[in-house]
Amino acid sequence: MQQLGCIIFFFGGFILHSQIHNRLVKINVGVSSEQYRHKNTFDAVNDTSLHEFELVTTMPTFSYTHEFVINDVLSLSGKAGFQYMNAFYDNQHYGSPYIYVSVNPQVSVFYRKGFEYYIRLQAGVSFWFNKPDMLTDQMRRLFPNHVNFFTGVTLGGFNYFISDHIGLNLELSIWSPEMVSFGISYRYYNKELPDIQETKEL
């Protein structure tokens, strides 16, 4: 019981320094897990088959997030992202745009003097504009359908605000389309701007 009390006190001390804005938007550029997964599968097919895949163009991911703060600790956000992956199969165009959307409950673990650390769950759907009819039945088993559901976790979410409204954002995630993303954030206040620089010591 004593150890449990120490853990609750330790975690609770972090949460007391949570964010105080009521809305936040983020625009990020990142690297996706999908591009590596597709490239590895393409390479494996090319090594063992008479058919050939070619990943001609791979752009970074671009995403937009809109976050609504529920209280000092919890928030809920929606994200929409896009990536262009231009692929060919036997010298014919196979697929290109990849989009994803998700709903994300979030916990602000630590906030102090403009720096925020948060963790977030992700539940969403992704869609790749490809042409599965071009593939053989055996080949289709290696690649996802047009629409796929995913759940992921952002283990490292960081905001560093360089002014009252503008900040820098970094996210490290697993099991989600984006592995690493970096961008800018902008936060809103529904009433008068609070003094965000003052925090109370425990």
Give per-residue pLDDT as tens, 39-78: 888 888 888 888 888 888 889 999 999 999 998 889 999 9
- Structural domains of the chain ordered from first start: 2-188 (2.40.160.20)
With CA atoms as reference, report the closest residue to 103 among 67, 72, 128: 67
Q: Do residues 182 and 28 touch, judged by C-beta distance below 8 A?
A: yes
- Summarised one tens digit per residue, pLDDT across range 134-165 is 887 777 777 766 788 999 999 999 999 999 89
Q: Do residues 21 and 188 touch, judged by C-beta distance below 8 A?
A: yes
- What pLDDT is recorded for position 14? 41
d(CA 39, CA 146): 17
| Cα 3 → chain centroid | 34
